[in-house]
Amino acid sequence: MTAAPHRPAPAPRRRPSPANSARPAARLPQRTAPKLTRSARLALHTLHPTLKTLHTMRTLLLTAVALLGLAAPVALTSCDNDTPNQLHQLNFIPLQSGGRLCYADQSADTVGLQSTDSWTLAVATPQGTPAWLTAAPESGRVEANHFVTQPLALRFSANTTGAPRTARLNVTAAAGTTRTIGLPVVQLSWLDIRRPAPTMLRPAAETDTRASATRAQRLQFPDATPVFIEPLPYKAGTVVCGFVLYDTTDPAHHSLTSDASWLTLSAADANPAAGHHEVTLTFTENPDHAPRTARLALTSAGVTTYITYTQAAKP
């Protein structure tokens, strides 16, 4: 008989020691938010709009403080309030290129003056032109190292002359050296019509072109004549006429009328009061094969401005 081959006995399996075995990471105890009682939740719900309101009031307060800084005297940085200002400033606000623009039915306006020094004010009109504008106060005292904003009240009458008129505010401040600044004031001879926008017809001495009347152009060419024209389609429809009236007297002295039966407005808009207006006009279809024209007349403080509407011909 053949003997079976000798096989070595398997080595005994070693168990890892507890020191080398992997241990699960320790878990930190979780904290749960305490549950609020019903009364606590109700209190928070009640306080939420109050806290939100307080945040809004804080924002408004900070804004108001910043704005009040423009109107109140502000001390400039200095070690001695008796020392003359190191910085000098003199200007009108709001800053406007060209000057201040007023309309024919206006009788009051306000501009601001900012200065670090005491000042005096004078109103000048072109030679041979009657004085039509007054401004107050005529002087202001500014303490050393302060910056003051002073409102200037402008007063005048409605311009019924049929032509624009001009004046100039001259402010002089003397602090070491004398400085003078000026602000032109132009009162136009027409009412403040916003729609349709005015088209300026410049005098014959100027280039004979039409241009949309921007504020700068109205100041640059005060003698230009405005026209207010709006085209309409031949079919029936509506169009909006926009304007601002400044005369605060009885609205019975104001009027808006049409000279054509095919262009009408409501009776409620016939005597507009002071303020901004958007009046809806109604027009009928043009039955003719030729264009037709209607004219709207707006009157305020004795001044009348006309608006022309041209309706296209029927095809």
Delimit the CATH 2.60.40.10 region(s) of the chain. Answer: 90-187, 192-311
- Digit-coded pLDDT (tens) for 44-88: 455 454 444 444 444 433 333 333 333 334 334 333 445 555 688
Quick one: tokens of 55? 């945040």
- Digit-coded pLDDT (tens) for 166-179: 999 999 998 778 89
Quick one: tokens of 58? 């804080």
pLDDT score of 292: 98
Q: Which CATH class is domain 90-187?
A: mainly beta
pLDDT score of 154: 98
**Cα(14)–Cα(176) distance, rounded to whole angstroms?**
103
Q: Are strands 119-124 and 90-93 parallel, antiparallel or unpaired?
A: unpaired
pLDDT score of 204: 43
**Cα(280)–Cα(267) distance, rounded to whole angstroms?**
11
CATH fold, domain 192-311, is Immunoglobulin-like (2.60.40)
Average pLDDT, the chain: 79
Closest by CA to 133, choosing from 84, 82, 85, 99, is 99
Distance (Å) of CA 128 to CA 88, 124, 131, 161, 166: 35, 11, 9, 15, 12
- Phi/psi for 269 (5° steps) reads -100, 5
pLDDT score of 59: 42
**Cα(158)–Cα(131) distance, rounded to whole angstroms?**
13
Q: For residue 13, what pLDDT band results from cuts at 50, 70 and 90?
A: low
Dihedral of CA atoms 229, 234, 235, 238 in degrees, nearest 10, equals 10
**Cα(305)–Cα(298) distance, rounded to whole angstroms?**
5
Report, as an integer, the average pLDDT of 1-30.
Answer: 51
- Digit-coded pLDDT (tens) for 184-224: 999 999 999 999 999 987 654 444 444 445 555 555 555 67
pLDDT score of 39: 57
* DSSP at 83: S
